Chains A and B, each alone.
Chain A
Protein backbone atom coordinates (compact mmCIF):
# COMPACT_ATOMS: atom_id res chain seq x y z
CA UNK A 1 0.00 0.00 0.00
CA UNK A 2 1.09 3.52 -0.61
CA UNK A 3 1.93 5.50 2.50
CA UNK A 4 0.52 8.74 3.80
CA UNK A 5 1.12 11.61 1.43
CA UNK A 6 1.17 15.31 2.22
CA UNK A 7 1.21 18.28 -0.10
CA UNK A 8 2.91 20.60 -0.45
CA UNK A 9 6.17 19.60 1.19
CA UNK A 10 7.35 23.17 1.69
CA UNK A 11 5.52 26.47 1.99
CA UNK A 12 6.61 30.04 2.63
CA UNK A 13 3.88 32.48 3.65
CA UNK A 14 3.69 36.00 4.99
CA UNK A 15 2.26 36.92 8.37
CA UNK A 16 -1.48 37.52 8.11
CA UNK A 17 -2.02 35.19 5.18
CA UNK A 18 -3.82 31.87 5.35
CA UNK A 19 -2.64 28.44 4.26
CA UNK A 20 -4.20 25.07 3.42
CA UNK A 21 -2.33 21.80 3.79
CA UNK A 22 -3.47 18.48 2.36
CA UNK A 23 -3.15 14.89 3.56
CA UNK A 24 -4.08 11.62 1.86
CA UNK A 25 -4.20 8.65 4.24
CA UNK A 26 -3.21 5.06 3.63
CA UNK A 27 -5.87 3.31 1.55
CA UNK A 28 -8.55 1.95 3.86
CA UNK A 29 -7.65 4.19 6.80
CA UNK A 30 -10.49 6.53 7.67
CA UNK A 31 -8.93 8.32 10.64
CA UNK A 32 -6.58 11.24 10.06
CA UNK A 33 -4.77 13.09 12.84
CA UNK A 34 -2.75 16.29 12.55
CA UNK A 35 0.26 17.36 14.61
CA UNK A 36 2.46 20.43 14.83
CA UNK A 37 6.17 19.93 15.46
CA UNK A 38 8.39 22.79 16.63
CA UNK A 39 11.80 22.82 18.33
CA UNK A 40 10.38 24.53 21.40
CA UNK A 41 7.07 22.72 21.92
CA UNK A 42 7.83 19.37 20.33
CA UNK A 43 5.02 17.33 18.82
CA UNK A 44 1.56 18.61 19.66
CA UNK A 45 -1.79 17.15 18.66
CA UNK A 46 -4.05 19.44 16.65
CA UNK A 47 -7.14 17.36 15.81
CA UNK A 48 -8.43 14.06 14.51
CA UNK A 49 -11.03 13.42 11.83
CA UNK A 50 -12.99 10.27 11.22
CA UNK A 51 -15.88 9.77 8.86
CA UNK A 52 -15.81 13.46 7.92
CA UNK A 53 -16.29 14.56 11.54
CA UNK A 54 -13.82 16.06 13.97
CA UNK A 55 -13.64 13.58 16.84
CA UNK A 56 -10.88 14.99 18.98
CA UNK A 57 -9.23 18.37 19.31
CA UNK A 58 -6.03 19.66 20.88
CA UNK A 59 -5.37 22.95 22.58
CA UNK A 60 -4.89 25.27 19.62
CA UNK A 61 -6.65 28.52 18.77
CA UNK A 62 -9.58 28.64 16.40
CA UNK A 63 -7.30 29.85 13.59
CA UNK A 64 -6.43 26.20 13.13
CA UNK A 65 -9.19 24.24 11.48
CA UNK A 66 -9.59 21.17 9.36
CA UNK A 67 -11.96 19.05 7.41
CA UNK A 68 -12.21 15.61 5.95
CA UNK A 69 -13.74 14.51 2.69
CA UNK A 70 -15.74 11.42 1.85
CA UNK A 71 -12.63 9.74 0.42
CA UNK A 72 -10.91 10.28 3.83
CA UNK A 73 -8.50 12.89 2.48
CA UNK A 74 -8.06 15.71 4.95
CA UNK A 75 -7.11 19.35 4.79
CA UNK A 76 -5.85 21.63 7.51
CA UNK A 77 -6.23 25.40 7.33
CA UNK A 78 -4.46 28.07 9.31
CA UNK A 79 -5.82 31.59 9.00
CA UNK A 80 -4.14 34.87 9.92
CA UNK A 81 -0.70 33.32 10.08
CA UNK A 82 1.67 34.31 12.87
CA UNK A 83 5.43 33.92 12.99
CA UNK A 84 4.98 31.27 15.68
CA UNK A 85 3.04 29.09 13.26
CA UNK A 86 6.29 28.22 11.51
CA UNK A 87 6.58 24.48 12.03
CA UNK A 88 6.55 21.03 10.50
CA UNK A 89 2.94 19.90 10.17
CA UNK A 90 2.50 16.16 10.20
CA UNK A 91 -0.54 14.14 9.43
CA UNK A 92 -1.04 10.52 10.36
CA UNK A 93 -3.60 7.91 9.45
CA UNK A 94 -4.92 4.94 11.37
CA UNK A 95 -7.43 2.16 10.94
CA UNK A 96 -10.07 3.18 13.48
CA UNK A 97 -12.57 0.71 12.03
CA UNK A 98 -10.43 -2.21 13.26
CA UNK A 99 -9.68 -0.47 16.59
CA UNK A 100 -6.03 -0.20 15.67
CA UNK A 101 -4.30 2.54 17.64
CA UNK A 102 -1.00 2.89 15.80
CA UNK A 103 -0.63 5.86 13.53
CA UNK A 104 1.33 6.07 10.30
CA UNK A 105 2.83 9.42 9.47
CA UNK A 106 3.39 11.32 6.28
CA UNK A 107 6.59 13.22 5.45
CA UNK A 108 5.17 16.51 6.69
CA UNK A 109 4.72 20.00 5.32
CA UNK A 110 7.36 22.51 6.37
CA UNK A 111 5.64 25.89 6.81
CA UNK A 112 7.73 29.03 7.16
CA UNK A 113 5.97 32.28 8.07
CA UNK A 114 7.91 35.49 7.39
Chain B
Protein backbone atom coordinates (compact mmCIF):
# COMPACT_ATOMS: atom_id res chain seq x y z
CA UNK B 1 0.00 0.00 0.00
CA UNK B 2 1.16 3.47 -0.77
CA UNK B 3 1.92 5.82 2.11
CA UNK B 4 3.45 9.19 2.80
CA UNK B 5 5.17 10.42 5.95
CA UNK B 6 5.73 14.07 6.66
CA UNK B 7 8.33 14.59 9.35
CA UNK B 8 7.33 17.38 11.68
CA UNK B 9 3.73 18.45 12.13
CA UNK B 10 4.88 22.01 12.86
CA UNK B 11 7.82 23.94 11.42
CA UNK B 12 8.67 27.47 12.46
CA UNK B 13 11.09 29.74 10.58
CA UNK B 14 12.01 33.40 10.54
CA UNK B 15 11.13 35.57 7.57
CA UNK B 16 13.98 35.30 5.06
CA UNK B 17 15.18 31.93 6.36
CA UNK B 18 15.31 28.66 4.46
CA UNK B 19 12.14 26.59 4.45
CA UNK B 20 12.55 22.80 4.49
CA UNK B 21 9.52 20.52 4.75
CA UNK B 22 10.21 16.81 4.73
CA UNK B 23 8.30 14.08 2.91
CA UNK B 24 9.09 10.38 2.57
CA UNK B 25 7.02 7.89 0.63
CA UNK B 26 6.81 4.13 0.48
CA UNK B 27 6.54 2.52 -2.89
CA UNK B 28 7.38 -0.59 -4.85
CA UNK B 29 6.63 1.13 -8.16
CA UNK B 30 7.57 4.56 -9.51
CA UNK B 31 5.43 7.20 -7.84
CA UNK B 32 3.91 10.47 -8.88
CA UNK B 33 4.46 12.99 -6.08
CA UNK B 34 2.85 16.31 -5.29
CA UNK B 35 3.03 19.14 -2.81
CA UNK B 36 -0.12 21.09 -1.98
CA UNK B 37 -0.65 24.15 0.23
CA UNK B 38 -3.80 24.92 2.18
CA UNK B 39 -4.65 28.31 3.65
CA UNK B 40 -7.30 28.54 6.39
CA UNK B 41 -10.83 27.81 5.21
CA UNK B 42 -9.68 27.10 1.68
CA UNK B 43 -9.10 24.10 -0.55
CA UNK B 44 -5.73 22.71 -1.62
CA UNK B 45 -3.54 24.54 -4.11
CA UNK B 46 -1.03 22.57 -6.18
CA UNK B 47 2.51 23.83 -5.57
CA UNK B 48 4.48 21.39 -7.70
CA UNK B 49 4.53 17.86 -9.07
CA UNK B 50 7.01 15.09 -9.87
CA UNK B 51 5.95 12.82 -12.72
CA UNK B 52 9.20 10.99 -13.59
CA UNK B 53 10.79 13.75 -15.66
CA UNK B 54 13.41 15.99 -14.00
CA UNK B 55 14.22 15.06 -10.40
CA UNK B 56 14.47 18.71 -9.35
CA UNK B 57 11.04 20.23 -9.71
CA UNK B 58 10.26 23.93 -9.54
CA UNK B 59 6.85 25.12 -8.49
CA UNK B 60 4.95 28.28 -7.79
CA UNK B 61 5.87 30.97 -5.26
CA UNK B 62 9.57 30.08 -5.31
CA UNK B 63 9.17 26.53 -3.99
CA UNK B 64 11.05 23.54 -5.33
CA UNK B 65 11.44 19.88 -4.45
CA UNK B 66 13.92 17.16 -5.27
CA UNK B 67 12.95 13.56 -5.90
CA UNK B 68 15.53 11.18 -4.42
CA UNK B 69 14.71 7.58 -5.23
CA UNK B 70 17.49 6.14 -3.06
CA UNK B 71 16.10 7.96 -0.03
CA UNK B 72 12.41 7.67 -1.06
CA UNK B 73 12.14 11.37 -0.31
CA UNK B 74 10.55 14.43 -1.89
CA UNK B 75 11.41 17.33 0.41
CA UNK B 76 10.04 20.80 -0.26
CA UNK B 77 12.32 23.83 -0.01
CA UNK B 78 12.23 27.57 -0.44
CA UNK B 79 15.40 29.66 -0.06
CA UNK B 80 13.77 32.61 1.69
CA UNK B 81 10.52 32.42 3.64
CA UNK B 82 7.88 35.11 3.33
CA UNK B 83 5.11 35.88 5.78
CA UNK B 84 2.58 34.84 3.13
CA UNK B 85 4.04 31.30 3.13
CA UNK B 86 2.43 30.60 6.50
CA UNK B 87 -0.04 27.77 5.80
CA UNK B 88 -0.39 24.00 6.00
CA UNK B 89 1.51 21.92 3.47
CA UNK B 90 0.64 18.43 2.29
CA UNK B 91 2.73 15.88 0.42
CA UNK B 92 0.75 13.39 -1.69
CA UNK B 93 1.49 10.30 -3.79
CA UNK B 94 -0.20 8.26 -6.45
CA UNK B 95 0.88 5.71 -9.05
CA UNK B 96 0.22 4.98 -12.68
CA UNK B 97 -2.35 2.35 -13.42
CA UNK B 98 -6.09 2.18 -13.53
CA UNK B 99 -6.66 1.17 -9.91
CA UNK B 100 -4.65 4.07 -8.55
CA UNK B 101 -5.81 6.86 -10.82
CA UNK B 102 -7.77 9.56 -9.06
CA UNK B 103 -6.66 8.49 -5.60
CA UNK B 104 -4.09 10.64 -3.84
CA UNK B 105 -2.65 9.43 -0.55
CA UNK B 106 -1.71 12.36 1.66
CA UNK B 107 0.70 12.88 4.49
CA UNK B 108 -0.58 14.28 7.76
CA UNK B 109 0.43 17.80 6.87
CA UNK B 110 3.00 20.29 8.17
CA UNK B 111 1.93 23.65 9.53
CA UNK B 112 4.48 26.30 8.60
CA UNK B 113 4.75 29.36 10.81
CA UNK B 114 6.80 32.34 9.67
CA UNK B 115 8.02 34.81 12.29
CA UNK B 116 8.85 38.41 11.41
Interchain pairs with CB closer than 8 A, number: 67
Listed residue (A48, A50, A96, A105) with the most chain B CB atoms within 10 angstroms of its CB: A105
Asked if B49 is an interface residue, CB under 8 A from chain A, the answer is: yes
Contacts of B92 in A (CB 8 A): 43
Contact between chains at A102 and B34 (CB < 8 Å): yes
Mostly, the A contact residues are strand
Known: A42-B108, A42-B109, A43-B90. A104 touches B102 (CB 8 A): no
**Main SS of the interface on chain B?**
loop
**Chain A interface residue count, Cβ-Cβ cutoff 8 angstroms:** 26
Asked whether, in the complex, the Cβ of A101 is within 8 Å of the Cβ of B32, the reply is yes
- Say whether B14 faces chain A, with CB atoms less than 8 Å apart: no
Chain B interface size, as a band, is 20 to 34
Are the C-beta atoms of A108 and B98 separated by less than 8 Å? no
In the complex, the answer to whether A55 meets B106 with C-beta atoms within 8 Å is no
Chain A neighbourhood of B36, CB < 8 A:
105
Alpha-carbon distance between A23 and B101 when the two chains are bound, in angstroms:
19
Q: Are A55 and B42 in contact (CB under 8 A)?
A: no
Query: Which single member of B41, B45, B94, B98 contacts A55 (CB below 8 Å)?
Result: B98
Across the interface, do A45 and B105 meet the contact criterion of CB distance under 8 Å?
yes
Task: Given A42-B108, A42-B109, verify A50-B43 contact (CB < 8 Å).
Answer: no
Kindly supply a per-residue 1/0 record for chain B positions 79-116, scoring 1 wherever the CB is within 8 Å of any chain A CB and 0 otherwise: 00000000000101010101111111111110000000
Q: Is A31 an interface position by the 8 A CB rule?
A: yes
User: Which 5 residue pairs are nearest across A and B when measured between Cβ atoms?
Assistant: A48-B102, A105-B43, A43-B106, A105-B44, A107-B43
- Known pairs A90-B43, A101-B32; list 16 more (Cβ under 8 Å): A4-B43, A6-B43, A43-B92, A43-B106, A56-B99, A92-B104, A101-B49, A101-B96, A101-B101, A102-B46, A105-B43, A105-B44, A105-B45, A107-B42, A107-B43, A108-B42
> Which B positions have Cβ atoms within 8 angstroms of A?
32, 34, 36, 41-46, 49, 51, 90, 92, 94, 96, 98-109
